[in-house]
Chains A and B, each alone.
Chain A
Amino acid sequence: MNSIKVSFRLNRKTVDLVVDSRESLLDVLRERLDTTGAKKGCDQGQCGACTVHIDGRRVVSCLTPAVQVAGREVTTIEGVAGPDGELHPLQQAFIDNDALQCGYCTPGQIMSGLACIKEGHTTDDAEIREYMSGNLCRCGCYVGVVAAVRETARKEAGR
């Protein structure tokens, strides 16, 4: 057991924290920072429900040691909407396409979807499906997820 002082940015705010070397980023977010948007679906990097961005890249936070984010910018679903609560176009597209049912995987899907668009993996539906396949949805909202990502990518490309 090792306690390590880390400082990082979480959703544009600075966090200073002493973490245990065994703690995952996901557990620190959920159990210590009360930032529970990222979900635990497997704790083994297999379901994608815990997806967050570190310096703009998508990662599964359950497999990311908390110490590893020292000095980094972490963005979770809570940091996606605007300061006055206006939804990001992808969040709105998830609503418009009913790309969710129980909602448990949704924060991870949206964080992955944002990255998928930024990475440019939205040429066609097949590519979106492939690059969104790290995020399981047991309710089966895949058709809506693809539609939401496609729609948002096209809007952003048109801007």
Chain B
Amino acid sequence: MNVSRRKFLAGTAAVTTAATAAVVATPHDGDAASGPPPSRRVDAREKVTGDLRYASDRLLPGTAHAVYAVATIGKGRLLEVNTKAAEAAPGVRLVLTRVDVKPPGFLQGGGHAFQSLQPLTSDRIAYRGQHIALVVADSLHAATEAAALITARYEAEPIAVEIDAPGAQKVRQSDVLPTAHDVVAGNAPSAFAAAPVKIDHEYESPQSHPVPMELIASVVQWDGDDLTIYEGTQNASAVQNGLALQLGISPERIEVLSPSVGGAFGQKNSLQTHLAPVAVAARRLGRPIKVVVPRTQTFHNASFRPASHHRIRLGADRSGRMLAAMHDVDQQTSRHDYFPAVYTELTSRLYGITNYGSQQNLVRTDVQTPGFMRAPYESPGTFAFESAVDELSYALGKDPVALRLANDTAVDPISGHPFSSRYLADTLRRGSRKFGWSERSAAPGSMRGRDGSLIGWGVAAGAYKAATAPATARLRLIPAGRTYHATIWVDGHEMGQGIRSAVARLVAEDLQLRLEHIEVGVGDTRGVPPQHLTAGSWGTATALPAVYAALKELRKKLGLGAKGPVPSGRGETIVLARSRAPGQPEAIHDRAAQGLPAGAGPEYPEFTAFSFVSHFVEVRVEPTTRRIRVPRVVSTVDCGKVASPRTAESQVRGGVIWGIGAALRERSEVDERFGGFANPTLEEYVVPVNADIGRIDVGLIDKPDFNLNPVGVKGLGEVVMVGVAAAVANAVFHATGRRVRHLPIRLEDVL
């Protein structure tokens, strides 16, 4: 399998054969001059036929199946694991309680994994549900039954799982993470004290879980000293490099294949700790092993959104000018890692508030290390901040849309630099028109439906850093009859967001090829190394500039002008190109090559870059049950140029649904007597279902941001969730007069 990589590296030298003089247009779908090709999801067909193979759909000859047994205490020491019954069970080939592997290193601490703790390497139990033994058997049912036969003796210790539990330990983030600075501008305390109108409230966001539909799973196969990993991941290079370090082998010996991921939402952003013991077992048995982490175990053996408590202070003059803001945060982390709290990066820049202060604390609790779940800081942060802005609008007697427009800014108040592009005001104006906001009666409880239900209309703004990471692209053009076939390998992962479709569309538009003649390879270390982390909404704004650079390189190599189709008769041509964020040194590619996070933004040398969004939400609170429904949402996004309209619209709807889930449904429950999470199933961890969702009207501003990159794209996948929960909460206040300052809002909050 490593042959393929060497072949690829050798293939970077371009091969060009003699050209003929004839120029034959190879238009995409009709007239070449008719603009960009139609927007399609290029992998849709194989998804509706069931032909697409996700990682756990691999069925390799001789595969054995692995299942983990888990700890049944919340914290303590493992005294003994009794594996006798499991080992004696029919079909069982191997039971491991200890493996000799190196610690994986925490992604946010210079390592590759979602947490630094590697189960099966010590007697320490840090959280309930931690893996304590691995059972490998000939069949899945045999492994499952044997894992259930494993028992253990423990020395239990007192636990504190929730952020406000006695025994949870609060530390000031800047004391333990020297690189984490509290954002400060001007003099917020004195400006707040002097402000004639003040808001000062606390808001709570719960711990919650991403639950992508595809379970965390790996198929692991050794071939001599070479290892192939099939795993749905957003970060094939971290899996490759991190596992190599754990096993003490060269990363060159490992290939990671993750061409299509069944949803990830941040939970698959790094090396998982189920993997190394399985790799050890597969080597020992000399058989491929498939491990599919059961749904319940994904609640404890992978990352989650930490709980966070926010205190927001806003000071304004009577005209509605915001003079001061302070945003203090307590955020949960684990005992073994400090998952950084970065909530104020956004709330300090959402408006032009010149006096801003913040303090962010970490609260150490007995859980696995939390992580980046979609809009990790920005969704909870704006729930707090945008609820407070709504409270300010009522305190001032101002319309909440007008208040936001009056505090818009073209300059980042923290850095003093301009925004690379900022169409927040346009999203608010357009959304407000579409929604019919001018018909709103401002007084809470003043709007009723025909059935007597209370109607509430709420608004909130949002933003998300327009991040960029280094990327590599390799483009191969081969003649195919009268046209060409293009294969583009690029640094990125397809988790459903549509990166493959966006890349294919850019290539189709540039070379005027039909989409059918374009093949996009992502998420596979055999294609272009590295396959750096795809997260933080930087996927499209990272992959497309690299593809753009490859297209330019191709045109240069073929001696073509900046536009137009490739004349017929050219031979196979291969080019390689790289791109990186504005201001990033070339050495950043080495960091990406090691599987370490290498993204940049929102601050760049000459500007600050964010995507922006506004959400207008209607809620209806039923008169007798007080059930809260969301019949319609109007969301308008500034994500720069829309690279792939079809997939973009779906991403917006998905983000809105995530926001509705955060607002009204999702919370990972804790019972402090037992530890872990008490609702670790898709029945009890309640996510929105089809019947919960009404109309979602999507608007895209579609103005390119050429300051950020030559394609003009900014991120989309996360910003679309930001502000939804606040807009729902603001609508609930408008409907009922109840200001609910915690999530999720349930019917007992509006009885």
A interface with B by C-beta (< 8 Å) = 1, 20, 22-23, 27, 30-31, 34, 36-44, 46-47, 49, 76-78, 80-81, 85, 87, 91-92, 94-95, 98, 100-107, 110, 126, 128-130, 132-133, 135-146
Contacts and interface: CB of A to CB of B under 8 A. Distances in A.
Nearest to B49: A81
Contacts of B54: 39, 104
B653 A141 contact: yes
A138 B263 contact: yes
Nearest to A108: B213
Given A43-B295, A141-B650, 15 more contacts: A30-B59, A36-B50, A39-B54, A40-B56, A41-B295, A77-B49, A87-B49, A100-B48, A102-B495, A106-B47, A133-B691, A136-B682, A139-B213, A139-B496, A141-B654
A78 B263 contact: no
A146 B46 CA distance: 20
A98 B657 contact: no
Contacts of B681: 42, 44, 46
Given A95-B45, A100-B47, A142 B690 contact: yes
A47 B263 CA distance: 14
B683 A44 contact: yes
Given A102-B262, A142-B690, A110 B48 contact: yes
B649 interface: yes
Interface residues of B, number: 64
B57 A138 contact: no
B70 to A, nearest CB: 15
Interface of B: 41, 43-54, 56-57, 59, 63, 65, 90, 139-141, 145, 210-215, 260-263, 265, 290, 292, 294-295, 495-498, 646-647, 649-651, 653-658, 681-683, 687-691, 693, 695-696
Contacts of A23: 139, 141
A52 B139 CA distance: 22
A44 B295 contact: yes
Contact of B43 (A27, A103, A133, A141): A103
Nearest to B294: A43
A129 B59 contact: no
Contacts of B215: 40-41
A102 B681 CA distance: 21
A101 B295 contact: no
Interface-central residue, A94, A98, A105, A144, by most chain B CB under 10 Å: A98
Nearest to A79: B50
Contact of A39 (B211, B213, B646): B213
B47 A103 contact: yes
A47 B290 CA distance: 22
A40 B682 CA distance: 12
Contacts of A128: 690
A98 B41 contact: yes
B547 to A, nearest CB: 21
A132 B49 contact: no
A106 B46 CA distance: 10
B653 A143 contact: yes
Nearest to B646: A98
A38 B649 CA distance: 27
A140 B659 CA distance: 11
Contact of A27 (B90, B140, B687, B696): B140
Contacts of B495: 102
